[in-house]
Amino acid sequence: MNRARVVPAFGAATVLLLSGCSAGDGPSPAPAAPAPPPSAAVAAQPSAAAPPPIPDVPPAEPGRRTLLLAPLREAGATVGTVTAQPGDLAFTLVCTGGEVVVHLDPVSTATVPCPTGAVTPFHNVHRLDSRQDVGVSVEASAGVRWALRIEQ
């Protein structure tokens, strides 16, 4: 009895194997390698030189305290408002990539050239006769990078 069950199963398997081998006109060709994605070709091209790294703004001068620190940014921004006491109010800027205009409203406005490919440090001090709230903002085009410290 066991033999009767095995023979039909073996016979059916043989038919399936033979029909699978006889189908088609011979071995199928290997699939072609896929073309590289378009982004791979772009990535292989040399890129423009990376902009120079901008160091951190130097720490506040001895005897002065930081009123506001704007870490590295790109393009213009309203940075904030500081309350300055009578005495010296200073700002230090590092920048690259174009012109930066620093507004300390109502104290002053300074235009700083920041050539592309170099980092420009800039320091400016203003004498205040009375306590003032000073609005700090920076105008700069896209691609201009800068960092700023206000101290007193």
SS3 at position 133: strand
pLDDT digits (tens, 9 = 90+) for 1-43: 433 333 333 333 333 333 444 444 545 444 444 444 444 444 4
Lookup result for tokens 């691609």? 143
Predicted confidence at residue 22, as pLDDT, reads 43
pLDDT digits (tens, 9 = 90+) for 43-88: 444 345 677 888 889 999 899 999 999 999 999 999 999 999 999 9
Is 8 part of a structural domain of the chain? Answer: no
Q: Domain of 142?
A: 66-151
Predicted confidence at residue 48, as pLDDT, reads 59
Cβ neighbours of 48 (radius 10 Å): 5
Q: For the chain, what is the domain count?
A: 1
Is 119 part of a structural domain of the chain? Answer: yes
In sequence order, which residues have a C-beta less than 8 Å from that of residue 33 and are 6 or more positions away?
A: none
CATH of the domain at 87: 2.60.120.380
Which range (35-44, 106-115, 130-139) has the least confidence? 35-44
In sequence order, which residues have a C-beta less than 8 Å from that of residue 76 and are 6 or more positions away?
A: 137, 138, 139, 140, 141
Is 99 part of a structural domain of the chain? Answer: yes
In this prediction the pTM is 0.66
Is 72 part of a structural domain of the chain? Answer: yes
Is 28 part of a structural domain of the chain? Answer: no
Is residue 120 pLDDT above 70, yes or no? yes
